[in-house]
Amino acid sequence: MDEEISQCHCPPGGETYVNDDGMDICVSCGGWVQPTV
């Protein structure tokens, strides 16, 4: 099942995790976030 994950804006201090594809996923909005460098 190929599920499309869209980008979202994670609130400051929002919880994130790395999924199996190595993408940073924001828990609160359920999408991927741009890594802060």
Report pLDDT for 26. Answer: 92
Compute the CA torsion angle 26, 19, 23, 29 (nearest 10 deg): -20
Answer for the pair 24, 14: CB distance below 8 angstroms, yes or no. Answer: no
Angstrom distance (rounded) from CA 12 to CA 15 = 9
- At 12 the pLDDT is 87
Answer for the pair 36, 24: CB distance below 8 angstroms, yes or no.
no
Average pLDDT of every residue of the chain: 85
Model confidence at 37: pLDDT above 70: no
Q: Which long-range contacts (CB under 8 A, 24 or more apart) does 2-7 make?
A: 5/31, 5/32, 6/31, 6/32, 7/31, 7/32, 7/33, 7/34
Q: Is the pLDDT of residue 17 over 70?
A: yes
pTM above 0.85, yes or no: no
